[in-house]
Amino acid sequence: MAQLCNKVALVTASTKGIGFAIAQRLAANGAHVVVCSRKKENVDAAVNELTSKKQKVTGMVCDAGQSSDRKLLMNMINQKFGGLDILVSNVAVNPYFEGILTTPESVYDKILDTNVKSAFMLIQETVPLMRKKGGGAIVTISSAVGFLPNFELGTWRGFGVYGISKSALIALTKAFAPELRDLNVRVNCVAPGLIKTEFSAELLQRGEKSTAAELKVSRIGVPEDCAGAVSFLCSDDASYITGETIVVSGGIPCRF
């Protein structure tokens, strides 16, 4: 319980799925967690659930892809807490399920802006808050397809630009890590495999057992499988780890 005691953690896109599981785990480990998403009803529901478990939480409506929303979020964190210890950048979209060759420019821009640019800007904007605390830990949420942007599952061919964006997050993590080292800020990444969420519902239409068999894993993952890895990377147990990516995929062979 005391692993993250007195730490302030911001988790974006944290009212459902993997983001909520991460927020819940960080709070259970002692952090005061700031949850946010674009919809007020989702923020309120997440805050109510965590509060009912006697966990410390603050909620705010924020579209992490919007500069003005991020500025309001940073101002709130600075005024309420005087700094930030942990950032988990979890925002992602994939609005297009066709091949790269036919991907419209507007879709490409949306995916890269949301999945990569928002993480890049969040890191820039939260580091000053972490310096007030003497350092911090940043975790980006990529995907196993970041190592396999050409990955195919059954008849589904829709990873395309989404896979490219998740590859970019892995590179972004490695690029930021040495630059922030002297500020005592660690930057790591978690790359989930197929996790049972609303986001992955289309991939699981054929059934979990058949999909797991095709992936050669024992089961489909759940959001809580990712939460422990993130909490570890945010803790002092990972104080000598930076610039790394932990794959949480059940053994999908996505890299050596």
| Predicted confidence (pLDDT) per residue in 206-249, tens digit | 677 777 777 788 888 899 999 999 999 999 999 999 999 999 99
Residues of the domain holding 54: 8-195+221-248
* Assigned domain for 203 exists: no
Torsion of CA 51, 192, 232, 52, to 10 degrees: 10
Cα–Cα distance, 32 to 23 (Å, whole number):
9
Q: Which of 21-25, 97-101, 197-201, 211-215 has the highest mean pLDDT?
A: 21-25
**Structural domains counted in the chain:** 1
Q: Rounded mean pLDDT of the chain?
A: 92
Beta carbons within 8 Å of 79's beta carbon, 6+ residues apart: none
Q: Which of 96, 108, 162, 240 is catalytic?
A: 162
Q: Please tell me which residue, 211 or 68, carries the higher pLDDT value.
A: 68
Q: Whole-prediction pTM value? A: 0.94
Active site residue 240: no
User: 154 pLDDT band (50/70/90 cuts)?
Assistant: low
CATH number at residue 232: 3.40.50.720
pLDDT of residue 75: 98
CA angle 9, 12, 17 (to 5 degrees): 110
Beta carbons within 8 Å of 192's beta carbon, 6+ residues apart: 18, 141, 143, 144, 221, 225, 226, 248, 249
Start-to-end CA distance of the chain, whole Å, equals: 34
* Assigned domain for 253 exists: no
* Assigned domain for 202 exists: no
Range 98-110 average pLDDT = 90
What letter would DSSP give residue 59? E
Backbone angles phi, psi at 135, to 5 degrees: 145, -175
